[in-house]
Amino acid sequence: GAGVSQTPSNKVTEKGKYVELRCDPISGHTALYWYRQSLGQGPEFLIYFQGTGAADDSGLPNDRFFAVRPEGSVSTLKIQRTERGDSAVYLCASSLRPRGTRAEAFFGQGTRLTVV
Amino acid sequence: QKEVEQNSGPLSVPEGAIASLNCTYSDRGSQSFFWYRQYSGKSPELIMFIYSNGDKEDGRFTAQLNKASQYVSLLIRDSQPSDSATYLCAVNQDGTASKLTFGTGTRLQVTL
């Protein structure tokens, strides 16, 4: 596609429920990143994929968070037993390559997650 | 100490003036530096990146990097009301250009 696409754009869920957030990167981009942005803060790194594998998941806050990218394109961020503190905008970004030239990241519009 | 620091603002400049946005970072090993613009309720949009000391110009935007002082800045010439947004400074620390550490952003207001 023309840009990074994220669905849904908004998600309201009850505390304790499971949610999935989807990211469709720019066509041909091998690297995919998930960030989380809370109000008044900059984005915070969660996880990075190169192809199908998670190359760096050091930003995932705990084991309730998990992400997959089974075919090296679309990625899904999964959050189990959601807590009110998980409420934030979840941003996905992709880049043509993970390092060197053409490694700049382009962000999707984000999914605003609200846990009530 | 935060890894990437920015003044939260708001920074107010009149239309047509030069806006100067500043960012400092703590990790001397940082390799790549990015400026993103974020309008309220929207996602960050990449506007500049710089990898080497000195200046890099693109249209009305100039990024300046001084690794010795651990300082990166963004100048916006001929500021327009449409430039009013939050400007996020982001730093890459491990060679993976998009595993970024962001500052909290500086809100810029361009007044008529």
Residue-wise pLDDT for A34-71, tens only, equals: 999 999 999 999 999 998 999 899 999 999 999 999 99
> Mean pLDDT highest for which of A29-33, A38-42, A111-115, B25-29?
A111-115
Q: Is the pLDDT of residue A97 over 80?
A: no
**pLDDT reported for residue A96:** 84
**pLDDT reported for residue B65:** 96
| Paired tokens of B10 | 């708001």
Which residue type sits at B47?
I
Give which of B46, B50, B96, B98 to mutate to test A binding, by max A Cβ within 10 Å.
B98
CB B2 within 8 A of CB B105: no
**DSSP per-residue string spanning A74-101:** -EEEEE-S--GGG-EEEEEEEESSSSST
**pLDDT reported for residue A1:** 53
Contacts of A45 in chain B (CB under 8 A): 99-101
Give which of A35, A39, A75, A109 to mutate to test B binding, by max B Cβ within 10 Å.
A35
Residue-wise pLDDT for B48-107, tens only, equals: 999 889 999 999 999 999 999 999 999 999 999 999 999 999 998 766 556 889 999 999
- Residue A98 preceded by cis peptide, ω within 30: no
**Beta bridge pairs of residue A20:** A78
